Amino acid sequence: MFDSALSEIQDINLSYLLLAQRLLKDDYATALFRLKLDESMAGVLASLTAKQLTKLARSNQLLFRLNIEDANQLEQVTANKRAEGLEHIHAALLMSSVSPCVN
């Protein structure tokens, strides 16, 4: 079971990294906003080779994190009956108000 979970984490990591690179290439400013990246991180991520991406994806940890940090926000997005059909808009508004992670 652990091997299966690890393989799935690595697949998700690679998918995320490839998507991030594509978003940065297609629309840099929007990608910065959607991925919650600063310009220096975005520059490094965009410049990674396929070999570097694959090596990075092999981590046993997820390389991205959920932008909704408050359980109440998650419940509002998923359980609000008044906003049926508008969940994607509500989620986008909530996530855009979350500040990027600064380490």
| Domain chopping of the chain, boundaries | 1-64, 67-103
**What is residue 16's predicted lDDT score, i.e. its pLDDT?**
96
Tell me the CATH class for 1-64: mainly alpha
Decide: pTM greater than 0.85: no
Spatial separation of the C-alpha atoms in residues 93 and 67, rounded to whole Å? 11
Contact 18, 50 (CB under 8 A): no
Q: Taking the CB of residue 76, how many other CB atoms lie within 10 A of it?
A: 16
* Mean pLDDT of the residues in the chain: 84
pLDDT band at 67 (very low <50, low <70, confident <90, very high): confident
SS3 84: coil
Return the higher-pLDDT residue of 56 and 75: 56
**How large is the average pLDDT for residues 48-64?**
95
pLDDT band at 64 (very low <50, low <70, confident <90, very high): confident
